[in-house]
Chains A and B, each alone.
Chain A
Amino acid sequence: GDSVTQMEGPVTLSEEAFLTINCTYTATGYPSLFWYVQYPGEGLQLLLKATKADDKGSNKGFEATYRKETTSFHLEKGSVQVSDSAVYFCALKSNTNAGKSTFGDGTTLTVKP
């Protein structure tokens, strides 16, 4: 079945540091890939998405590229801010799985001033 593996956290960075959160996936067919962010006390928000190989999703300074050859969708940001502190979930959605979304375990990011 489908699965998503995220790098284990928590991740603690200083403000303006470079961020990478690794995500790899296993899926049948051609899934769409997503990063969601969850701030404390809130639901998940879509951060960015990519629907086919070599697509790059980007939003709010975050980027991720759909790499079919390495089955990866790593999240990056060049300079993190304290306000980026949250839990980040990598997810895929596959038409071969009745359109269900499969989520990674989440990575908690804390950015210190």
Chain B
Amino acid sequence: DTEVTQTPKHLVMGMTNKKSLKCEQHMGHRAMYWYKQKAKKPPELMFVYSYEKLSINESVPSRFSPECPNSSLLNLHLHALQPEDSALYLCASSQGQTGNQPQHFGDGTRLSIL
């Protein structure tokens, strides 16, 4: 069982819709991440939050908007997405952003843009 919970597991949306992806962890981790993963490819980093503050934005288009309401929750707000944004979106957490701690991943949200 994964310790990082993502909802929903699947999401189909049109290009004009607004939706949100949610991620939750209760391991006391202070760093949380959003990744995008295309089929048969490694995860690509999108955002990093450290102690609830945005630490890294990997030049992600503004149609993706992250939010960290508290130390256990991470959201990704989606608006006006493009078909090429269809992918598996993975949330991860670690004890800290730096150091040798591994990341713990959720099972992802599979997003399809019509």
Contact = CB atoms under 8 A, between A and B. Distances in A.
Chains A and B form a bound pair: yes
B8 interface: no
B107 to A, nearest CB: 5
Interface of B: 2, 4, 6, 31, 40-43, 45, 48, 55-56, 90, 92, 96-100, 102-108
30 contacts: A42-B2, A42-B108, A43-B2, A43-B6, A43-B90, A43-B105, A43-B106, A43-B108, A44-B90, A44-B105, A45-B2, A46-B102, A46-B103, A46-B104, A49-B102, A51-B100, A93-B100, A95-B98, A98-B97, A99-B96, A99-B97, A99-B98, A100-B48, A100-B56, A101-B45, A101-B103, A103-B42, A104-B42, A106-B40, A106-B41
Given A89-B42, A104-B42, A45 B105 contact: yes
Interface in A15-31: none
B44 to A, nearest CB: 9
The prevalent SS among residues of A at the interface is strand
A104 B96 CA distance: 22
